[in-house]
């Protein structure tokens, strides 16, 4: 399997708020640093072990737009300091277009 850290990710501009919330949506796990359709890098104070699974939601908003949430299941693939890389393992089919749009927004294409 290819090292997912080598796949191009789009850095999230400071004007966007992209957070990862726990499965119930009431706990902030961290802030997304960069993202693509395969996974994301998360700035977090929580320690994850490689292989650990995380079910939750990506919550994002641009400008004054209402926050949008995308459900996911991810797996930790690396953890260094206060950053952790996650591979997206499962996302509802209905959310795939929203994830694509989020990646485009994060790259300035949306």
pLDDT tens digits for range 6-48: 444 555 555 567 899 999 888 999 999 888 889 999 999 999 9
Domain ranges, residue 81: 13-106
Q: In this structure, is residue 88 part of a structural domain?
A: yes
The model's pTM is 0.81
Q: Residue 4: is its pLDDT beyond 50? A: no
Q: In this structure, is residue 7 part of a structural domain?
A: no
**Average pLDDT over the chain, rounded to whole?**
83
Query: Which CATH number is 64's domain given?
Result: 2.40.10.220
Q: In this structure, is residue 82 part of a structural domain?
A: yes
Domain count, the chain: 1
Q: In this structure, is residue 3 part of a structural domain?
A: no
Q: In this structure, is residue 76 part of a structural domain?
A: yes
Tokens of 93: 């089919």
Dihedral through CA 1, CA 104, CA 58, CA 77, nearest 10?
20
Count CB-CB contacts under 10 A for residue 53. 12
Q: In this structure, is residue 28 part of a structural domain?
A: yes
Query: Could you tell me the pLDDT band of residue 102, with boundaries at 50, 70 and 90?
Result: confident
Distance CA 55, CA 88 (A): 10
Q: What is the pLDDT of residue 41?
A: 93
Mean pLDDT of 88-108: 87
């Amino acid at each position: 399997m290819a090292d997912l850290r080598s796949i191009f990710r789009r850095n999230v501009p400071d004007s966007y708020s992209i957070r990862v919330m726990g499965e119930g949506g009431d706990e902030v796990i961290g802030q997304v640093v960069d993202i693509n359709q395969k996974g994301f890098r998360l700035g977090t104070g929580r320690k994850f072990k490689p292989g650990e699974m995380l079910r939750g939601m990506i919550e994002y908003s641009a400008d004054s737009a209402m926050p949008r949430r995308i459900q996911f299941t991810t797996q930790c693939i690396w953890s260094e300091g206060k950053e952790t890389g996650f591979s997206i393992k499962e996302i509802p089919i209905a959310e795939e277009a929203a994830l694509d749009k989020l990646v485009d927004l994060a790259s300035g294409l949306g």
